[in-house]
Structure 1
Amino acid sequence: MSEVNSEAIATISDRLNKIRTHLPTQVKLVAVSKYTSIEAIRAAYDAGVRDFGESRVQDAKIKQTELADLTDITWHMIGSLQSNKARAAIAQFDWIHSLDRLSLAEQCDRLIPELGKSPKLLLQVKLAEDPHKSGWSEAELLADLPQLAQLKHLNIVGLMTILPLGLDESQSHAVFSHVGELAAKLRSLGWDNIRELSMGMSADYAIAIKAGATMVRIGNQIFSGYQA
């Protein structure tokens, strides 16, 4: 077990306190620990964080093993999920934010009953043009809804998005608001469980909260300087 030094605890705790002053009580903080040391994760845990986000299945497995004594951590898969990692992701994570295409949803639907574990799933949407991001456009998601409705093992609870680079504040707010509007449209179509909106990171989480985010994914503002 890695010993957490007092400086790391104090620094990370102070950063978290500053972030929490801007977080409404209904917004969940997911601390993005993907580039972070075990020591820093323990410091964040000691400061009250229980939700941690990882981008790579294999890296997360190492951390989950080393942190197995912290039994109440909730692990979030926030990175792009390759088909060949779907089985491991379902087994390892409590949440998967990056369900980004119908074929992956169909694969997860087959694996969940086999593995006996059903993580909460978010549909990743891309509502602004960005060749570097994956996800459904609104039209693509609406077209795929009938097929998604046939996948009875999926626990889909909301939407996730990542903004393209270079947007100003008003443009960012518009995209985040569009995600909320899409979630409302899905609920009107009978998808009542679409309640969570995972959107906003270190640079734009305040804008996302104003637009209705229920979960924000913050890494640099917590862990800068404590890379693995």
Structure 2
Amino acid sequence: MQNIENPATEKIIDAELSDRIASRLNALRETLPPSVKLVAVSKYTSVAAMRAAYAAGIRDFGESRIQEISQKQQELQDLPDITWHMIGHLQSNKVKQALSICDWIHSIDRLSLAQQCDRFIPELKRSPKLCLQVKLAHDPDKFGWEVEQLLADLPTLLQCQNLNLVGLMTILPLGLDETQAYQVFQDTAKLAEKLRSLGWTNITELSMGMSGDYAIAVKAGATLVRVGSRIFS
């Protein structure tokens, strides 16, 4: 039998998607103080789901691949007030494109990447907000500065005059219990405080916490949480 699409059915499906996402967002917002920005992690998520989240008030979307941001920007051109957050590992050959299309890059995870950004920003005449990705617990599977290396690199980072550095980002290692997770988030907040005491007064944002641990991150001082599955799954 020929499969004939039913527009009425499609509208019902869209309505169900919108209602589900709106309900989840409302429940999530009730757990967040006004000072915390919710970044909806939309990687692997359809544009239809993103439109539903937008209709429910989301303006900040997080993606882990530059090519996916670029494609979704094309499909969502009619929503010009979206703020695009790059939250995944950034390859050196994608730096220029990332600076061109992202409003935030949370994953500046090494000195050479920061220096690349510093070189390209004057040419592009565009300076996204940047977070330094740090590791406060050893994890060979995660990118980012360990504390000692970051402190050693600060004098060189200071020579990067074009960077709009605004905060720190961290991702927890797998397998931590709640107490251990809270300690890592607290240590990240303390590192930001230390950097401010050293003159880096613009390091005020803390991008910490995902779907499974955002509440602990908020308790430790997160200003941005990156939540995906609690919204879209």
Q: What's the TM-score, normalizing by structure 1?
A: 0.96
* Residue number among 1, 10, 15 corresponding to 2:19 in the alignment: 10
Moved over 4 A (4+): none
- Cα offset, 1:59, TM superposition: 1.1
- Cα offset, 1:60, TM superposition: 1.0
Question: Counterpart in 2 of 1:43?
Answer: 52
Q: Residue 194 of structure 1 aligns to which amino acid in structure 2?
A: I
2:194 aligned with 1:185, yes or no? Answer: yes
2:140 aligned with 1:138, yes or no? Answer: no
Q: Deviations over 1:116-152 (max 9, x none)?
A: 1100000000110111100001111100000000000
Distance, in Å, in 1 between the alignment partners of 2:138 and 2:156 is 24
Q: Residue 87 of structure 2 aligns to which amino acid in structure 1?
A: I
2:205 aligned with 1:196, yes or no? Answer: yes
2:91 aligned with 1:82, yes or no? Answer: yes
Distance, in Å, in 2 between the alignment partners of 1:164 and 1:200 is 12
Distance, in Å, in 2 between the alignment partners of 1:68 and 1:83 is 27
- Cα offset, 1:93, TM superposition: 0.2
2:115 aligned with 1:106, yes or no? Answer: yes
What secondary structure sits across from 2:135 in the alignment? coil
* Residue number among 70, 75, 92 corresponding to 2:101 in the alignment: 92
Question: Counterpart in 1 of 2:175?
Answer: 166
- Cα offset, 1:5, TM superposition: 1.2
Distance, in Å, in 2 between the alignment partners of 1:165 and 1:100 is 19
Q: Deviations over 1:138-185 (max 9, x none)?
A: 111100000000000000000000000000000000000000000000
Distance, in Å, in 1 between the alignment partners of 2:42 and 2:48 is 11
Q: Residue 197 of structure 2 aligns to which amino acid in structure 1?
A: S
Q: Residue 197 of structure 1 aligns to which amino acid in structure 2?
A: L
Question: Counterpart in 2 of 1:150?
Answer: 159
Distance, in Å, in 2 between the alignment partners of 1:61 and 1:221 is 24
Q: Residue 89 of structure 1 aligns to which amino acid in structure 2?
A: A
Which consecutive unaligned segments of at least 5 residues does structure 1 have? Answer: none
Distance, in Å, in 2 between the alignment partners of 1:223 and 1:141 is 35
